[in-house]
């Protein structure tokens, strides 16, 4: 799992491309899919076009569901050294 914190939502596409390269280099495989929340920063025209051109499936979670938030909370607590 890769985690990057964004200062602003407009950084999402640049950070996504950075994570994509890192994941592909580390795994030796091409990215086929990824999952995000339903945020608008992941549904912009440039993002959708990039995923379509690279044959990447974009899965989304249901916003504010307990399973999703429990993962977010665990990641943040680990990041802060509190878990």
Structure confidence by residue, pLDDT tens digits, 19-42: 899 989 999 999 999 888 777 888
Residue 3 forms part of a structural domain: no
Residue 60 forms part of a structural domain: yes
Residue 69 forms part of a structural domain: yes
Name the range with the highest mean pLDDT among 2-6, 53-57, 71-75.
53-57
Task: Answer whether residue 14 shows pLDDT above 60.
Answer: yes
- How high does pLDDT run on average in the chain? 82
**Could you give phi then psi for residue 28, rounded to 5 degrees?**
75, 10
User: Domain range spanning residue 32?
Assistant: 9-79
**Could you give phi then psi for residue 58, rounded to 5 degrees?**
-105, 110
Helix (H, G, I), strand (E, B) or coil at 21: helix
Domain count, the chain: 1
Entry pTM: 0.66
Question: How far is Cα 83 from Cα 75, in angstroms, rounded to an integer?
Answer: 9
């Amino acid at each position: 799992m890769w985690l990057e914190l964004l200062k602003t939502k407009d950084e999402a596409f640049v950070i996504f491309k950075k994570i994509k390269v890192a994941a592909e280099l580390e795994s030796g495989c091409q990215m086929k899919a990824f999952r995000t929340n339903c945020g608008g920063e992941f549904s912009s025209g440039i993002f959708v076009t990039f995923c379509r051109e690279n044959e990447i499936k974009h899965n989304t979670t249901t916003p504010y569901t307990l399973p999703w938030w429990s993962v977010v909370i665990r990641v943040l607590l680990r990041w802060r050294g509190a878990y």
